Amino acid sequence: MLEPLPQEQRFFSALRSGDWPRPERAWQLDEVELSPAALAELFETQLMSRHLDLHARRLQARGEAFYTIGSAGHEGNAAIARAFRHTDPAFLHYRDAAFLLQRSRSVPGQTPLWDLLLSFAASADDPISGGRHKVLGSKALNVPPQTSTIASHLPKAVGAAYSFGLWRRLGGDGGEWPIDSVAICSFGDASFNHSTAQGALNAAGWAAYQGTPMPLVMVCEDNGIGISTPTPSGWIEASMRSRPGFHYLACDGLDLLDTWRAAREAERIARRRKQPVFLHMRCVRLYGHAGSDAQQAYLSPARIKADEARDPLLVTAGLLQRHGVLDADAIERLYRSIAERVAHVAEQAIRRPKLETAGQVMASIVPAARPGRQRAWQGEVETPPAPMAKLLNQALKRLMESYPHLVMAGEDVGRKGGVYGVTQRLQAQFGPHRVIDTLLDEQSILGLGIGLGQNGLVPILEIQFLAYLHNAEDQLRGEAATLSFFSNGQYTNPMVVRIAGLGYQKGFGGHFHNDNAIAVLRDIPGLLVACPSNGADAVGLLQEAVRLADEEQRVVVVIEPIALYHTRDLHQEGDQQWCFSDPGPEHRLALGQLGQWGDGRELAIVTYGNGVYLSRQAAAKLEEEGVALRIIDLRWLTAIDHEALYRQVAECEQVLVVDECRRSGSPSEELITALLERGMPGDRLHRLTAEESFIPLGRAATVTLPSVQNIVERARWLVTPAEQNERGVASVSKVVAGSDGA
């Protein structure tokens, strides 16, 4: 028989003495409309959750489990699970195993103990993450996996809640979840303080305050402490009781009857009135923060003892006896039966296969393709040459017509038509539900997109300026990009993020409107980044980005160079050489497809975005001087086809990478490395990058960036015979160390 752990002594002692703690309120079962069998079922769920926690510690001691953060003390959320439909998407706190276990009861055929123990053991058979993390999730139960410890899953819950009304407006049922669903998300009292949580609360309240449907229940599981830092007494209630747009409900999470009562009320409000509810569930944290946390280091013995006396399992056992549902013998049999069951299932689960190779681990970074939903476009393409902003606007209009489930969202994208007019007139044509003017919060914009994408829509989000991405970047890095990975490809959040960015704006700017830092986007597994240099390519990249999102379920960022939005001329005023004809709806620039201008062999300039434009201007001067060159436009800044690039530059005597981003962390580093790796000698490889600086205001705005003059000078130097300058002895490191003026 399984040897009880020290943590279980209190339960056995209460069993012997019959001294079960009483809840604050003395609800009767019929008062809260809960049957005796249902109360017993909730207790079973609580016990399963608890025994999983306890057994995880035994397994970890044996080296068979790897993550012991548990749900002990929070098991009252089983009653919350019972109050909702299993088709209501639930974005769960990591202490919500009881929620998942209880929900599994509403879908016959589930094997939650087996599944969770596979997850503990990081087995490749784990049905949700395939052995990639101990997560609470299930496709069948509509619980997308979350690994978040910082409430970064809350913005997408707001997005999901918004998506139901949107699908209703679109007249469709094409989403992952029914249109009368309620989104549920849960989090702790410590992560309540995180700016992401506050942003999500604000976004939900902001929307509801102006009458936007927001069927959302945000469950704050308040155990009063964040690892070692206490939550100020009354802080959560004081913060939320009068929050505009929200209904505030509170319950005693130690008491299943009170929790059930409040959860049903929350469900009713959210579903019927489509308004957000903040459900404040008071509970207790037992056994420390995680298996490795020795809470006696920061909590007094008296406090630990007092917490143990508030164990919700003890409270439920008392309820069962007082309401005549189960006697002490039955409670003990049940307790032991589940303990034995968990232990035996664990012995089977830990023998299941683990992930072994990098290929197996990475198999779900990129999700599977699905049938596209594009409709044939019947319109007529406007062909007069136009600058990038105009062509993007035409392409967006066409995309909105071709993809009925495509929606746009961002600050000022609607009425104003975007800061640079790229989305002009789209809201008037497609309505404010498809062209959404959001609040000014990039986390919420990206979270909205994740929620919409997860529910079958294809969002195109706009971030006004690249610098504004950075405070919200985790929504892409930690959330959007990881969803397929941690769900073994079962959940996806395809989307396109348009970001106006990069430098060279004339007469407007400073750093925050001219930011040239994109490194943060380029090291995220699976995330794709495109950057057009001209209007025709912008259309091709945007249309491909939408196809990638719709058919291949990818997350694609398109960085649109602000300085080129309205640029018409290339060499001289009025030449209109940077205006292009709309290439039409079928024009798509596939991942890795490079652009090339010229075929000279003396010099290859490899560049993107503004660099292409500047290099074209430089090329005119260089050609006058007899330099034979070519310009390679990367177009895609991730998943670069280095083999193709090598083929396109190998025959050139010199290669110059012109990169408008900084020397550190810019694509130039990868490009030089990849060409070296393919055998190109280091003395033929050179970089011209931006300085390690922020962007200043006024006339100095471009002095830290590559310029036409820089490019011309560097090119001249490179094509001068080696014996006439010092290049003949230059090493790669020496060349790399120098940029402009080296």
Partner 1 sequence: MSQKRNDGQASPARERLLVVCPGRGTYNATEWGTLSRVAGGSDWLAGFDAMRQQAGMPTLSELDGQTPFRQSLHGRGEHASPLIYACAWADLLAIDHERYEVVAVTGNSMGWYIALAAAGALAPDEAFHLIGTMGLMMQETLAGGQVLYPWVDEAWRPDWALRQELLALIGQIHGTQGAELHLSIDLGGMLVFGGNEAGLASLSERLPPREQFPLRLYQHAAFHTPLQAGVREAARRKLSAKPFRAPNVPLVDGRGHIWTPWSTDAEQLWDYTLGEQLVAPYDFTTALKVGVREFAPDRIVIPGPGATLGGASAQALIQLGWRGWQDKASFQADQQQEPSLLCMGIEAQRSRVVRQTAG
Which is closer to partner 1, CB of 112 or CB of 175?
112
Which is closer to partner 1, CB of 354 or CB of 571?
354
- From 19, 347, 569, 726, residue interacting with partner 1 (rule: CB under 8 A): 347
Q: Which stretch binds partner 1 (CB under 8 A): 109-117, 129-137, 142-150, 239-247?
A: 109-117
Task: Sort residue 718 into left (φ over 0), alpha (ψ -120 to 50) or beta.
Answer: alpha
Closest CA to 544 of 475, 496, 485, 616: 496
- From 25, 322, 344, 370, residue interacting with partner 1 (rule: CB under 8 A): 344
Closest CA to 175 of 418, 452, 543, 463: 452
Which residues have C-beta within 8 Å of that of residue 187, sequence separation ≥ 6? 93, 151, 153, 154, 197, 218, 219, 220, 221
* Residue 403 binds partner 1, judged by CB under 8 A: no
Whether 133 sits among the annotated catalytic residues: the reply is no
Closest approach of partner 1 to the CB of residue 347, in Å:
7
- From 8, 66, 67, 114, residue interacting with partner 1 (rule: CB under 8 A): 114
Closest approach of partner 1 to the CB of residue 333, in Å:
5
Which is closer to partner 1, CB of 26 or CB of 330?
330
Among the listed residues 153, 513, 642, 686, the single catalytic one is 513
In the structure encoding, which two tokens stand for residue 636, read together? 């895609």
* Residue 637 binds partner 1, judged by CB under 8 A: no
Per-residue CA distances from 693 to 514, 699, 708, 711 (Å): 12, 15, 19, 19
The answer to whether 143 and 490 are in contact (CB under 8 A) is no
Taking residues 24 to 63 in sequence order and writing x for each that binds partner 1 by CB under 8 A, - otherwise, the string is: -----------x-xx-xx-xx-------------------
Distance CA 391, CA 414 (A): 18
Which is closer to partner 1, CB of 110 or CB of 475?
110
Which residues inside 639-698 make contact with partner 1, applying CB under 8 A? none
Closest approach of partner 1 to the CB of residue 3, in Å:
11
* Residue 109 binds partner 1, judged by CB under 8 A: yes
* Largest CA-CA distance found in the chain, in angstroms, rounded: 99
Size, binding site for partner 1 by CB under 8 A: 30
Closest approach of partner 1 to the CB of residue 116, in Å:
11
Closest approach of partner 1 to the CB of residue 268, in Å:
24
Closest approach of partner 1 to the CB of residue 275, in Å:
33
Which is closer to partner 1, CB of 34 or CB of 190?
34
Distance CA 270, CA 265 (A): 9
Which is closer to partner 1, CB of 329 or CB of 624?
329
Closest approach of partner 1 to the CB of residue 47, in Å:
10
Half-sphere exposure of 450 (CA within 13 A, CB side): 31
* Residue 333 binds partner 1, judged by CB under 8 A: yes
Per-residue CA distances from 85 to 103, 572, 609 (Å): 8, 65, 49
* Residue 348 binds partner 1, judged by CB under 8 A: yes
* Residue 337 binds partner 1, judged by CB under 8 A: yes
Alpha-carbon dihedral angle through residues 552, 554, 557, 560, given to the nearest 10 degrees: 10
Q: Which stretch binds partner 1 (CB under 8 A): 191-199, 271-279, 337-345, 684-692?
A: 337-345
Q: Which amino acid is at 302?
A: A
In the structure encoding, which two tokens stand for residue 388, read together? 């990038």
Alpha-carbon dihedral angle through residues 524, 525, 528, 531, given to the nearest 10 degrees: 40
Q: Which stretch binds partner 1 (CB under 8 A): 261-269, 332-340, 459-467, 513-521?
A: 332-340
Q: What is the DSSP letter of 477?
A: I
Q: Which residues pair with 580 in a beta bridge?
A: 386
* Residue 330 binds partner 1, judged by CB under 8 A: yes
Half-sphere exposure of 474 (CA within 13 A, CB side): 15
Which is closer to partner 1, CB of 344 or CB of 571?
344
Which is closer to partner 1, CB of 336 or CB of 734?
336
Closest approach of partner 1 to the CB of residue 108, in Å:
4
Closest approach of partner 1 to the CB of residue 278, in Å:
31
Which residues have C-beta within 8 Å of that of residue 204, sequence separation ≥ 6? 158, 161, 214, 216, 218, 245, 246, 276
Distance CA 318, CA 305 (A): 19
Q: 277-282 and 247-252: which strand pairing? A: parallel
Closest approach of partner 1 to the CB of residue 123, in Å:
12
Q: Which stretch binds partner 1 (CB under 8 A): 164-172, 298-306, 324-332, 442-450?
A: 324-332
* Residue 332 binds partner 1, judged by CB under 8 A: yes
Which is closer to partner 1, CB of 324 or CB of 698?
324
- From 345, 472, 548, 712, residue interacting with partner 1 (rule: CB under 8 A): 345
The answer to whether 537 and 544 are in contact (CB under 8 A) is no
Which is closer to partner 1, CB of 109 or CB of 681?
109
Q: What is the CA 131 to chain-centroid distance, rounded?
A: 20
Closest approach of partner 1 to the CB of residue 484, in Å:
23
The answer to whether 90 and 266 are in contact (CB under 8 A) is no
* Residue 334 binds partner 1, judged by CB under 8 A: yes
Q: Let me know if 414 is exposed, middle or buried by CB neighbors in 10 A (0-12, 13-18, 19+).
A: buried
Q: Which stretch binds partner 1 (CB under 8 A): 62-70, 106-114, 156-164, 510-518?
A: 106-114
DSSP 122-144: TBTT-TTTTTS---EEETTTTEE
Which is closer to partner 1, CB of 339 or CB of 645?
339
Q: Which residues pair with 498 in a beta bridge?
A: 462, 558
Half-sphere exposure of 717 (CA within 13 A, CB side): 23
Which is closer to partner 1, CB of 347 or CB of 692?
347
Q: Which helix (H) or strand (E) holds 20?
A: none
Taking residues 520 to 559 in sequence order and writing x for each that binds partner 1 by CB under 8 A, - otherwise, the string is: ----------------------------------------
Closest approach of partner 1 to the CB of residue 561, in Å:
49
- From 91, 177, 192, 335, residue interacting with partner 1 (rule: CB under 8 A): 335
Q: Which positions touch partner 1 (CB under 8 A)? A: 1, 35, 37-38, 40-41, 43-44, 105, 108-114, 326, 330, 332-337, 340-341, 344-345, 347-348
Active site members: 513
